[in-house]
Amino acid sequence: MLLSRRRLFQTAAAGLVPAAPPITRVELLPSPYPVAGHFKFFTGSERPAVLVKITCESGHAGWGQCVPTPTWSYETVESVVTTIERYLTPLLIGGNPFDLAGAHRAMNQAIRPSFSTGMPIAKAGVDLALHDLAGRLRNQNVAERWGRTPLPRITLSWTVNPQDLRETEQLVADGLKRGYRHFNVKLAPDARFDLEMCALVRKMAPQCFLWGDANGGYDLSTALWAAPRLANLGMNVFEQPLPANRLTGYKELRRQGALPIIMDEGVVSSGELVEFIRLGLLDGVAMKPARTGGLWDARRQVELLHDAGLMFLGSGLTDPDVSLAASLALYAAYHLQFPAALNGPQFLAGSYLRAPLAPVDGEIETPAGPGLGVEVDEEKVRRGKA
């Protein structure tokens, strides 16, 4: 069975994609980052991550990154490593690095979906490394390979997630001091607390794009009660108000019409996105290449949203370094219209890049080099300290 899967990857490229030196090695390098401030999904002093290096016969290498956060998703560093080592690497060796479609077919046969893509954060690390490698083989960045002209920079949103209401003003002031003009707030489970917090944010930043994200933390009755009140306070979008599997609840919130309803955790692949659009469950998606299996399907989802006239927002899993670069590449290539909630630079310290990605006045430049546009400091990675 394993041999047939490998052949699926190798032969899918025949006559369809350019020839390339075959993949010879896949390496996994744990790469934790120090946490620089309180964030609701981090329970310790480090943000776990795993760098993925894929090398082909010519010596060219591409880098990807898996960013598991078990308090947000079910994937862990341990599950990411074993999935790639035991199940995905055997399929990749000998494959054509240009054959992204074949690689995803093979990976999705090796690790099957349940409701959606199985182990998407692990697969994202492989996908990003393949995109990076393909670009380096042709000396093109991903936008050029897609035939698109990217934005030179992306406007960011500052995340506000106070543990106490009294912290809110200082958190907003910190963002304003760094030049941020837009804010996203972490909501749930206490809707009354959330209303007071959002009122303070709107007062301090009256012109901001204000984005509320409940991460599935409300029940339906609370979400229906909160939505019009948040709208009255000037909220612009309401992200993932309910758990991902409460589909009839999303239909009720759309019917209520108080705020645009944005899905995040509920959309992992373009398969369910097509169904959710047909069912009228959402007004848009907060895209995260890190949790959609990488850029291959994330790009398809953005195109589906454009075709349906729905909102495409950009966010992340507090992405560092390579994963952050991939998100910037996608959002810039598809001309993101809203501030991106990419808060890795806000909550993480350290970097494994030769030239770390750093916001200036609430904006961050789109990496312009080949592949994903950034250069990994491999010596630093192997030392294991950002």
Q: Secondary structure of the chain: what % helix, strand, coil (to 5)?
A: 40, 15, 40
Q: What is the mean pLDDT of the chain?
A: 94
pLDDT digits (tens, 9 = 90+) for 43-66: 888 999 999 999 999 999 999 999
DSSP 60-122: -EEEEEE---TTTSS--HHHHHHIIIIIIHHHHTT--TT-HHHHHHHHHHHS--SSS-SSHHH
Q: Do residues 131 and 326 touch, judged by C-beta distance below 8 A?
A: yes
- In the chain, list all ranges with CATH 3.20.20.120: 153-383
Q: 353, 355, 357: which is closest to 342 by C-alpha?
A: 357
CB 228 within 8 A of CB 255: no
CATH 3.30.390.10 residue ranges for the chain: 2-142
User: 9 pLDDT band (50/70/90 cuts)?
Assistant: low
Pick 153-383's CATH classification: 3.10.50.30, 3.40.50.2300, 3.30.70.1560, 3.20.20.120. 3.20.20.120
| Structural domain 2-142, CATH architecture | 2-Layer Sandwich (3.30)
Q: How far apart are CA 85 and CA 107, in angstroms?
A: 12
d(CA 274, CA 160): 32
pLDDT reported for residue 351: 97
**Contact yes or no for 304/335 (Cβ under 8 A):** no
Query: What does the alpha-carbon distance between residue 189 and residue 215 come to, in Å, rounded to a whole number?
Result: 10
The C-alpha atoms of residue 93 and residue 355 are separated, in whole angstroms, by 30
| Chain segment 250-284, per-residue pLDDT in tens | 999 999 999 999 999 999 999 999 999 999 999 99
Quickly tell me which residue has 């509320």 as its tokens.
212
pLDDT at 4: 43
User: How far is the C-alpha of 195 from the C-alpha of 211, rounded, in Å?
Assistant: 13
Structure confidence by residue, pLDDT tens digits, 69-127: 988 889 999 999 999 999 999 999 999 999 999 999 999 999 999 889 999 999 999 99
**Residues 182-233 pLDDT 10s:** 999 999 999 999 999 999 999 999 999 999 999 999 999 999 999 999 999 9
Q: Is the model's pLDDT at 158 over the cut of 90? A: yes
